[in-house]
Amino acid sequence: MTYSSRYDSALILAATLHRRQVRKGTDTPYIVHPVYVSLILMQHGYDEDVAIAGLLHDAPEDQRYPLEDIAAQFGARVADLVAHVSEHRYAGNDERPWETRKQEKLAALRTAPPEALAITAADALHNASSILADLRAHGPAVWGRFKRGRAGTVWYYRAVTDLLVDRLGAQPLVLELAGAVDAMERMQT
């Protein structure tokens, strides 16, 4: 897949927005995550709009970047895909409860378009793979990085995977995610 200057612009925007952010419990620059999500989508044959939405999928949720600005810069389709995969993390200045956000996300995925489901699968695949790598390198202390520890984290990734299997079937991206989540579940506490 080739890409245009729109992709370059989205990459610059994502890098700028996430510049001061690191991955949970690490010193890894956060930009690594949206770049991997976008690359996973490209490797699975998704078009440039989907790859750009992968780059920007955490911008509204983590950086409060307006969907209207995404639409103005990258088009309504990109903004719509980002809207489908973003959690409503804040109510004013207060972070909303984790359980509420995750239940809402699962409910939204039940009616989301297939491309939004693919972004969710790529996001979950990169996160689950990163968790697995960290567990192998650092052991069970890694679970302390997450708001709900091992049980809540594994529950959420299993729920997302099951929903994606139900909605998308045995697509290669979904099968990769299922394998990563299966491995994560097998890791001892």
Residue-wise pLDDT tens digits, 10-63: 999 999 999 999 998 888 999 999 999 999 999 999 999 999 999 999 999 999
Q: Could you tell me if 82 and 147 are in contact, meaning their C-beta atoms sit under 8 angstroms apart? A: no
Instruction: Give residue 1's pLDDT band: very low, low, confident or very high (50, 70, 90).
Output: low
Percent of the chain with pLDDT strictly greater than 70: 98
pTM: 0.95
What domains does the chain contain, in order, with CATH numbers? 5-186 (1.10.3210.10)
Q: Could you tell me if 102 and 158 are in contact, meaning their C-beta atoms sit under 8 angstroms apart? A: no
Closest CA to 39 of 6, 81, 3: 3
DSSP letters, 45-71, are: T--HHHHHHHHHTTHHHHH---HHHHH
